[in-house]
Structures are given as C-alpha cells and as structure tokens.
C-alpha cells in the first residue's frame, strides 16, 4: 500500500509525503496523482522518509520525477544514489 499525504500546498508549491511501498498498481496511482501537480506547474517536493520499498517500476518513476526537477527530502542512501544517477543521465543539477 502507498499513501500520499499533503504536508503543505500553495499555488506555486506542494510538499507531499510518500508512505509505504511503491509497487505494482501503486506506481500507476502515484503517477496520476503526482503528474497532476506537475501539469499544473506546481513545484513538487516529496518527503520519502516513510517510503519503505520501491520495485523496479517505482524506482523508474522516481527517477523520472528527479529528471523533472522534483525535490526529494529524507531519502535513504539507496534511494539517494538511484536519484543522483537519474539526474546525471538527464543533465540536471542537484
């Protein structure tokens, strides 16, 4: 199960918390929810303190978000490395 909670929200920025596991159908649901913020031009920050696991599709989606300059806070060392790799591939800076 994946839970997406709102920490703060304004017209310009949103800070959300991801809790649980980003696997299977959860990845598709997260994609729909998070992409709607980006499509609206809202700067997105994700607190992943409580993100316990992400499967291959979940990691790929998080890497895609990193390439779109979504900010991640409270990352595990493993997730931090995965996201840095995505930023290097897209030429972004962090």
Domains by residue range for the chain, with CATH: 2-90 (3.30.750.24)
Looking at the whole model, is its pTM more than 0.75? yes
Q: What's the confidence (pLDDT) of residue 84?
A: 75
Strand partners, 94: none
Of 73, 50, 70, 49, the closest CA to residue 61 belongs to 70
Please write the tens of the pLDDT for every residue from 47-62. Answer: 999 999 999 999 999 9
Q: Are 63 and 38 in contact (CB under 8 A)?
A: no
pLDDT of 90 over the 60 cut: no
């Amino acid at each position: 199960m994946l839970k997406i909670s709102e920490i703060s929200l304004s017209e310009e920025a949103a800070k959300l918390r991801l809790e649980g596991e980003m696997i299977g159908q959860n990845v598709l649901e997260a994609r729909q929810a998070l992409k709607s913020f980006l499509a609206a031009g809202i700067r997105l920050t994700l607190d992943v303190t409580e993100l316990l696991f992400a499967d291959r599709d979940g990691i790929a989606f998080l890497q895609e978000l990193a390439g779109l300059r979504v900010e991640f806070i409270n990352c595990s060392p493993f997730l931090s490395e995965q996201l840095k790799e995505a930023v290097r591939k897209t030429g972004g800076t962090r």
